[in-house]
Amino acid sequence: MQKKIEIYSTQTCHFCHMAKDWLTEKGIAFIDHDVAQDATKRKEMVEISGQMGVPVIKIGDDVIIGFDQDKIEKLLEIK
């Protein structure tokens, strides 16, 4: 079973686009939250990450700040 993946991002964030493009290329489903438009999700992002920088990627119960491909691959068990 695939872990639930959520990305807290903005439209102008280069690393957000890189993360979403990479997941899409791998065929991995994710939920995207535009924190520039959604104040509730922005507050949620700060609560789980402790900061305002994007992207914040939540995989199951794990939180990754920034686009850390190696960490994402490890959490999703991608080789």
* Second CATH level (architecture) for the domain 5-76: 3-Layer(aba) Sandwich (3.40)
Q: Give pLDDT tens digits for 7-36.
A: 999 999 999 999 999 999 999 999 999 999
Task: Examine residue 55 and say whether the peptide bond preceding it is cis (omega within 30 degrees of 0).
Answer: yes
Q: Which two tokens stand for residue 30?
A: 């994710």
List the chain domain ranges: 5-76
Q: Tell me how far CA of residue 79 lies from CA of 36, 52, 64, in angstroms.
A: 33, 31, 19
pTM: 0.94
Amino acid of residue 1: M
Instruction: Report pLDDT for 6.
Output: 98
Q: Give pLDDT tens digits for 31-78.
A: 999 999 999 999 999 999 999 999 999 999 999 999 999 999 999 998
Q: Tell me how far CA of residue 42 lies from CA of 7, 53, 59, 71, 73, in angstroms.
A: 11, 10, 17, 23, 25
Name beta bridge partners: 31: 6
